[in-house]
Each structure stands twice: as structure tokens, then as C-alpha cells.
Amino acid sequence: MGSLKEYKSDEYLEYRLYWCSFGPENYGEGGGVLPSRRYRLNTRNRAARPQSMRGCTCHFVVKRLYARPALALIIFNERRHINKSGFVCHGPLDKDAIGPGAKKIPYISNEIQQQTMSMIYLGIPEENVLEKHIEYVQRYGGSDATVSTLASQYVRKLGMIIKRSTHELDLDDQASIRMWVERNKKSIFFYQDTSETDPFILGIQTEWQLQQMVRFGHRSLIAADSTFGIKRLKYPLCTLLVFDSRQHALPVAWVITRSVAKPDVAKWMKALLDRARSVDPGWKINGFVIDDAAMEIDPIRDAFCCPILFSIWRVRGSWLRNVVKKCSNIEVQREIFKRLGEIVYSIWGGLDTSVALEELILDFVDQSAFMEYFKCTWVPKIEMWLSTIKTFPLASQEASGAIEAYHVKLKTKLFDDSHLGALQRVDWLVHKLTTELHSAYWLDRYADESDSFQHVKEEYIASTSWHRALQIPDSAVTLDDKGHLFAKVASQKDSSRTHLVWNPGSDFAFCDCAWSMQGNFCKHVIKVNMICENAKGCRPSMSFWSFREILIDLCKKPMDDSIGLDESVAWTHQMLDQIKQLVELNSSNDIGIVVNNMPLKWISKKGRTFVGIPASLPALPSDSKTITKNVQKSRKRKRLSRLR
């Protein structure tokens, strides 16, 4: 190193040639020739040469370049594992491979293995699992009785392993988690054990979740389902979600911790972002959706550098669930829920929230059970929640419904009666997340993208209230003519049944269906609100109202405040450009036209100097040969200086 003043770009410090271990010869370290053996060696070394010669011509060269000694350049002279005749000579694609039972063992890819495991974890009958497994294995190995027998043995063995697997690696929960972390390092993006100064934090993200986060999170939204199980689990669970191709919430990371302090949140958020950018250095999100007014905002802004949106699904669901639970009269239920919605809407109308709360408590003083709950749980912190709703843009009903659908699925998986005794163990929670829940979402995505498992695909598509609402025709909805006090939605399953939706057009609309009575966004409310968007006299959705208030607030900047006005104009034009691009992208049938119309952007200043020469160079005079040579020499010196 450092001995050459001038050198070519392919000059190297070291050069080695490697042959496949099934090849005719081995030019390994030291440069000696070791022919493949046709006989068995009695040796204790399990990594001895192959037992037979296959004649594989796959070989490659490794160079340590003079210009970049810290890197290795790998050049494949023959990448395929074939012999001189061009036929595959070993491996899973070689049907005539030499070796003990090589042509009898079916090829099982990671995809087939994950599919089989997912079906077993989800409790699909073994006969159906075996049928699907053999079907996919035969795509690689062909239809053969031996292949089917071995595949059947594989499924039964895998099923036994899964059934016998346990979350308790140690009787002590903390020791069990340490053992799990040591065995599953690839699925962990952050781990901090409990100590006197540091709280327990465990961040879980499998390789498949990382792929989905990079794929669906880039230039899109990430949402947080925070503080799940804060009362029942040993440590609360926070889930980070992306919205997939059908705008369903897909879990891409789980964080198990009790700490919500800024330094601790910043640690695992930075680690998660670094992991995503290790795959795609340009990975960036357009927005982060939160659902808890007490959540720390600064770590999100510092890590992701993006706008923050707020989803009201948590506060809406909590209010609706307790109104139904603690008030027996349905008329009282819908009136209280309507008044609660008016309190939220009043933050944009300039009304005094404290006065509205006092009137609510006085008007429904006879509903002691609900009022006691509301005073103890919500009155002390309602100013914080209303301030958050007013400060941040609000997420749409589609996004809120998708987050809620994930939350309901998670609750169903974890809070099963058979697992109530294990809720205080972290290793049980980790086991449930990484096996059953992970398998469920993996199979949902696989069924949708491969157009297989039609029953799973149909359930996955209809898993959110928004998609179920799209299946209701407009003709099934009838609005009240007198002030739009309610709307009627005809049932699609039973034509003789009708659901009533009170306070239509509002996010706090009240439906009498069973799903809504459990505190959820139901399809009837969402469908009625879709109809009310174009109806006169109906109140707009809270997300649109919030968006409109933000635009109005930008327009209210005084003219003499020049910098404030400049900022308002800049933000408005940025939003308008993004809206125009989205409209153009959604309305275009040819993505190539959209790409061609985009303005050319340089990646960086450094990139402009060596990535390429601009197409339009000024013409040189005919007598400028000397100048041309000097320019070429100076460019050569610059390139050499970069290499050094």
C-alpha cells in the first residue's frame, strides 16, 4: 500500500480464486491444487472435502483493490452450479445428484416453511396444512410418492415442534427473556435490561416486518397503537403500524416497556430508524399518527422529522364503550354521546369547554355511574386531549378504523380466557406476538398477493369497517328529511332489518348495531358519513374540519408580519404541490407519463461532480487542443486524488 504513484482502477493488493467445493479442482488459500475425491475419508473433520466429484464449474475471484483496500471486489466467472456440459450438477435443482438420498429430499424454501408454520399456528387442520404444503413442494420437485411421504413427515414433525414449544425458557421471567433475546438477535432492534438507572425496553422486529416497514412506510404514514394492556400486562405494549396496499394496518415493530420518558423513547426510535435506513438509506416517512395525547412528541420529530397527526379512535371508543355500559336507556346513550362530540367540535367554534362540561354534568346528573367514571377518568385530563386535537391535524376515519381493527385483533389474540394466568409474563407476550400474531398477518399478506387461500383473503379484505362500508350501496342509506337527525341503513344480510344511525355526518355518530355497541367504528356510521359528505346541511368530518382550520390559520397571518407571511405562503405552496402530485398520480393510467413530467433533481452537490457530465457543454474553439488536454489532465488528477 502506498507504493504506487500512478495506477489503474483495477490494480489490486491481493487476488484469490475460489472454486465450488463440488468442483473438479480447488484453488483455495495457498494456491495449491486439491482434486476432488471419489472415495470416503476416515477423518474426524466434518468439514472435509465432498465424498464425490461433481465437476461443478462455479468459481469466482476476490480482489482487494489498491484504490479501496478496505473493500473486497467479488467477480463471478461462472455463477451457476453447472458442469462443462451446462447441466446442473448438484443442489436442490439437480434431480440426478450423487449422494445419500439427494434426489428424494423435497426442496423447502423459506416461503413454504413460513406458510406451513403460519397455518399450524393459526390452528388450521393438519389435513388442510398437508394438502397445501404438498401442493407447493411439488412445484419444485414434481409429483412423486416419496416426495409426498417426506412432505407429510415434515408437516407432522413441524406441528409437533410447534405444539411442544413453550414460552417459558426459564422459571424466572427475566432470565427467560434474556435467553430469548440471545437466541433471536436478528428479530431485535433494541434491548435494554432492567437496572437501577435504566428501565426495561424490548424492541422486536422480524426480517419480514422490516421488509414491510421499508416497503409500505417509505413516503407514507406510520401509526402507533400505544399503551396496549396498560392495566393487564406486566409491561404495556406499543405497536408501530404501516398501511399496506389495501390501507390495512400492518404491525412492523413491537416495543415492550413501561417507560414513556423522552430519553428512553428516543433510544428505541433512533434504533428503529437506523435499521430501516440500513436497508434503504433514503427511507423517509411523510407523517406519524399518534393516538395518545400524553405521548412524547419531541422524540418523533427528532427521529423522523415529519408532521404528526392525531387519531381520535381511542378517546371515541372509550367514551362510547362506557356510555353503553353505564347507561341503560338507549335514548340517553345517544344523547350523551352526541353532547360529548359537541364538546370536541366546540374547540373550533370558540366556545368555552369548561362551561360545556358543566352543562353536560348538570343535564345528566341522574346518570351517576357514567358521570362518576367521566369525572374521575377524563375531567382532569380533558384539556390536554382537546388541546392535542386542536393542535395537530386529525387522521381520517379510514386510518382510525384500520388502527382500531388491529387493536381489536390484538386484543382477541392476547386476552383469551385460556391465557389469563400468563399475562404477567413478558416471555409469554413475546411468544404470542412472534408466533400467532406474526403468522396471522404474514398469511394475510401472502394470501392477498398470491391470490391463494381465498377464505383468508376475503376475511383479510373485510377486516376493517372502512372496507365493509364500501360494500354497502348508496341506495341502502336513507337520510332523515327533518334536519338530518338520523339515517337508516338497510342490512345487506337481512333485508327486513334496518340500523339507525343518530347524529349522521359526525365522527360521534351513534349506531344501534352490535359492533358499534362494543365501542368500535362500525360500517354503518362510516357509510352514512360518506353519504353526508356531499349532502347539504351536514357537518364535515373532524379530519376535514381540522385541515380547513389549519389552512384558515395560515391565511390569518397579518400582512405586516412579513416572515410569518412568508412561512405561510411557503407551507401552502408545499401542500398544494403535494396535493397536485397525488391527484395526478391517482388519475393517471400510465405511471411513465407522471415520471416523465417530474422535474429533474440533482441528488447532491458532490454527485454533480462525478456521477456524470452535463449533456450541454459549451463548444470549444478549434484551436483549443492544448486547453482540452489540460482540462483532461486536471480531471485525471481529481479522480486520482479521490481514489487516494
- Does 97 share its domain with 190? no
Question: Which position has the grid cell 378517546?
Answer: 315
Does 637 map to a domain? no
480 burial level (CB within 10 Å; 0-12, 13-18, 19+): middle
Q: Check if the beta carbon of residue 255 is closer than 8 Å to that of residue 202.
A: yes
Measured CA to CA, the distance from residue 357 to residue 362 in angstroms comes to 9
- Does 299 share its domain with 318? no
- Does 79 share its domain with 126? no
Cell of 192: 435494554
What residues make up the domain containing 65? 10-26+52-101
In angstroms, what CA-CA distances link 258 with 236, 255, 426? 6, 10, 12
Does 20 map to a domain? yes
- Write the CB contacts of 11 (distance below 8 Å, at least 6 apart in sequence): 4, 65, 66, 67
- Does 188 share its domain with 281? yes
* pLDDT at residue 615, as a whole number: 41
CATH number, domain of 272, equals: 3.30.420.40
Q: Which of 500, 519, 539 is the last residue of a domain?
A: 539
Where are the extended beta strands (E) located within 282-438?
Answer: 287-290, 308-310
- Does 180 share its domain with 272? yes
**CA angle, 158 as apex, 254 and 113 as ends, to 5°?**
60
- Does 380 share its domain with 354? yes
Does 535 map to a domain? yes
Does 68 map to a domain? yes
- Does 145 share its domain with 199? no
* pLDDT at residue 315, as a whole number: 94
- Does 182 share its domain with 301? yes
* pLDDT at residue 632, as a whole number: 58
Does 148 map to a domain? yes
Where are the extended beta strands (E) located within 413-572?
Answer: 477-479, 486-490, 498-502, 510-511
- Complete DSSP assignment for 110-124: HHHHHHHHHHHHTT-
Q: Check if the beta carbon of residue 74 is closer than 8 Å to that of residue 60.
A: yes
- Does 127 share its domain with 183? no
Q: Work out how many domains the chain is built from and give that number.
A: 5
- Does 193 share its domain with 272? yes
* pLDDT at residue 538, as a whole number: 74
The amino acid at residue 516 is: S
Measured CA to CA, the distance from residue 289 to residue 406 in angstroms comes to 14
Does 589 map to a domain? no
Cell of 636: 485525471
* pLDDT at residue 373, as a whole number: 93
Does 605 map to a domain? no
- Does 264 share its domain with 401? yes
Instruction: Divide the 644 residues of the chain into consecutive groups of 10 and give the mean pLDDT of each group.
Output: 74 84 52 41 45 72 84 87 76 54 61 84 82 77 70 83 80 90 92 92 94 93 90 91 94 94 94 93 93 92 93 94 92 93 86 86 91 92 92 92 94 75 86 91 90 87 92 90 83 88 90 92 92 78 84 67 71 78 74 65 45 41 50 56 52
Q: Which of 101, 122, 137 is the last residue of a domain?
A: 101
Q: Which of 495, 517, 539 is the last residue of a domain?
A: 539
- Does 147 share its domain with 95? no
Does 198 map to a domain? yes
- Write the CB contacts of 368 (distance below 8 Å, at least 6 apart in sequence): none
